[in-house]
A and B are shown apart, each in its own frame.
Chain A
Amino acid sequence: MNTLANGIDTAEPGTAAAISADIRDRADPALVRADRVEQLYSQLPLGMVATIVIGVIAAFELREGRFIELVLFWGGLLALVVVLHGMLYFGYRSDPRKLQNTAQWLRWLGIGAFAAGAVWGFAAAVFFPSHADERQVFLAFLLAGVISGGIPMYAASWPVFAAYAAAITLPFTYVLATFGNRLFAEIALLIPLFYGVSVAIAFRLNGVFLAGYRLRHAYQRQLIELQEARRQIEASGRKLALFAERAPIAVLELDAQGTIHQVNHAAELLFGYAADELIGHSAKRLVKPKYHADFEREWGAVIGNRAPVAGVKVRNPRRDGIDVVCEWTVTPLVNPDGQLISVIAQGRDITAQLEAERMKKEFTSTLSHELRTPLTSIIGSLQLINAGVLGEVPKDVGELTEVAERNGQRLLDLINDILDIEKIESGKLTLVPEVIRVDELVREAMVLNKGFGDRFKVRFEPRGELVTREVTADRKRLLQVMTNLLSNAAKFSPEGEVVEITTEELAGQLRVGVHDRGPGIPEAFRSRIFGRFTQADSTATRHKGGTGLGLAICKRLVEMMQGRIGFQDRDGGGTTFWFELPRHA
């Protein structure tokens, strides 16, 4: 496999030759053996017919005189061997599991071959010494014939041939060697050599057969695998086509000139053109005419670089003249030779997303101005009344105007918090860093929040010496963090309690801790305490105020100042909230 620059895998052209080099090793040995056994058994009928014909001729020639009984006996043996071979043949043919039982059938055939050879060997041993010269020549010719005939018969398994030929040659060699004739004794010496040569030929033939069978099975297997691979490729091709076709984004296939070759259904829907109206046309049909020059330049760059580009925002005209803004990913497909096959362009309609972003911006601005202005009047009026600027008001009226002022303030806090979160998350909040002494910051925060503490009858007190080291931070925003932690501590502390504030220096970090004696943070709430709109107990929002955004804002602000924020249980009950900022060098 080869990987293209753009991550598409493709087969290398030389792979086929490499596969065929070791293809024979991939053949299943069991199947190869089954083929060999089948080959051996398929020749059995021919062998049986030949045995009968040769046997009848031999019996006829050797029948004379006192040997008739022996000839009949031998003929009977030969007939028995032929019958047994016939039974073996039909047994094999009718075995439904012959492909699995190949070893057994090969063994039986070996025994049969040996038996046949032994019957011919018997003929050599019995009839050769007792006959006259011409009969001996006939017999030697006959034996040479049945041995050489065995080579093609049993070549598919050389050990079977070796057993068959040995059963013939051994008695014949013995008879020749003990005959008392010098010529025969010399022939007896040559017979083992002939035997060896015959077995060697059978062995070579066996090798040729084996190679043939292996190749056949390997190719068969290869063919099946190729068919399977083709099926898989077709299936994945169909799947890919389906993905493109059903994808909710527009997918176009183009050539190097920018001519459209294929479009999916989403593209038809998005641009309002039928596929036929786009296929064969330039992609410029989807680009406003005044941007055609830009398009050609950028398209040329993509084709030239052969590298995918993503996140390209283009205003595309629809068929009905309305523009849609799409974000495009353009991927050139290149083959191993570096030739461009095609270009896939995927476009996502982001018109609605851009509109939503614009509306969100507008909404935020409206929230900022249009809500703050009436709140200024509401809270301002109530503050003037509650401050006694207009003189004494009846007690009941005063209580209600205080409720109104407090809730007006809550509403304002919520608006401010939402605006803060929005500003932080959209990256629009800019900090004004300055060098701040930690002890001064803590004292300023305590003064600022004294009124809030008084409302809940809670005092803020420093514990131990306050660190006089400095941090680089946005003073206003850091005070906002302190105010949040102090007001939370006051809200959740029992009346009359003291909220302690500590500062300490830890490995280049300055840590400010706010320690309360509140009910602690419930286990289930701990993981999302710094999330948005979270309060452990929603009834607390009504009783104690708070928007559920305070800690989320604190976390983001502290992190923007390269710090950390966290909390832990306090010994003796309550919670410690802390934040750390890098010490000013």
Chain B
Amino acid sequence: MPERPLNRICYVEDDEDIQRIVRMSLERVGKMTVEVVGDPMVAIGKITSFKPDLVMLDWMMPGMDGPTLFRKMKEQPETSALPVVFITAKATQRDMDELLALGAAGTISKPFSPKDLPEQLRAIWAKLP
């Protein structure tokens, strides 16, 4: 378990409504600092400059999907070690297993409960080495 508490989250998501809900949930309920990125093509730069504790990725996005972005993050030294949680409406067990096999720290399926989202992320954070 990391020594410091989970505080800085970067969320890559193209849907503005969900961006707003996640931001509100994490900021107001979870008291965390949130950076939302709407365009996955510029995500790596934003993540590098924001320096989050954890990155949340949507799976299906225009331009570049979550798993592709995840692989690109792994290639960059600045982002390769960051824990990544996928948040997705693709909810089959096989999809989830695939993501975990890629090295994802966890998965959260849509629809999620914004009341419980910070707790779910903290639980994943607590299990990290």
Contact = CB atoms under 8 A, between A and B. Distances in A.
A432 B100 CA distance: 16
Given A373-B110, A389-B28, A380 B93 contact: no
A390 B28 contact: yes
A380 B89 contact: no
A368 B94 CA distance: 15
B18 A373 contact: yes
Interface stretch (B4-12, B44-52, B68-76, B111-119): B111-119
B111 A375 contact: yes
Contacts of A538: none
Interface in A376-431: 376-377, 379-381, 383-384, 387, 389-390, 412, 430
Nearest to B15: A373
A379 B111 CA distance: 8
Contacts of B28: 384, 389-390
Given A369-B89, A369-B90, A384 B115 contact: yes
Contact of A376 (B18, B29, B93): B18
Given A368-B90, A372-B89, A380 B114 contact: yes
B81 interface: no
Nearest to A419: B91
Contacts of B111: 372, 375-376, 379-380, 412
A257 B31 CA distance: 80
Given A389-B28, A389-B29, A372 B110 contact: yes
A368 B95 CA distance: 13
A379 B112 CA distance: 9
B60 interface: yes
Nearest to B87: A376
A206 to B, nearest CB: 94
Nearest to A423: B92
Contacts of A412: 111
Contacts of A368: 89-91
A485 to B, nearest CB: 23
B3 interface: no
Query: A interface, by DSSP: helix, strand, loop or mixed?
Result: helix
Main SS class of interface, B: loop
Contacts of A383: 113-115
A384 B114 contact: yes
B17 A389 contact: no
A430 B91 CA distance: 13
Nearest to A415: B111
What is the size category of the interface that chain B forms with chain A? 20 to 34
A567 to B, nearest CB: 30
A311 B112 CA distance: 45
A384 B89 contact: no
B24 interface: yes
Interface string B77-100: 000000000000111011000000
B21 interface: yes
Contacts of A374: 17
Contacts of B17: 374, 377, 381
Contact of B113 (A377, A380, A430): A380
A538 to B, nearest CB: 27
Nearest to A476: B93
Contact of B18 (A369, A377, A384): A377
B107 interface: no
B21 A384 contact: yes
B89 A389 contact: no
Contacts of B94: 430
Contacts of B15: 373, 377
Nearest to B113: A383
Contacts of A387: 29, 114-115
Contacts of B18: 373, 376-377, 380
Given A368-B90, A383-B115, A376 B25 contact: no
A10 to B, nearest CB: 54
A380 B25 contact: yes
Contact of A380 (B21, B90, B91): B21
Contacts of B24: 384, 389-390
Nearest to A391: B28
Contacts of A432: 93
Given A368-B89, A369-B60, 11 more contacts: A372-B89, A373-B110, A379-B113, A380-B18, A380-B21, A380-B114, A383-B113, A383-B115, A384-B29, A387-B115, A390-B28
16 contacts: A373-B15, A373-B18, A376-B110, A376-B112, A377-B21, A380-B114, A383-B113, A383-B115, A384-B25, A384-B114, A384-B115, A387-B114, A389-B24, A389-B28, A390-B24, A432-B93
Give me the 10 closest cross-chain CB pairs, A-B, nearest first. A376-B111, A377-B17, A380-B21, A372-B89, A376-B110, A380-B114, A369-B89, A389-B28, A387-B115, A384-B114
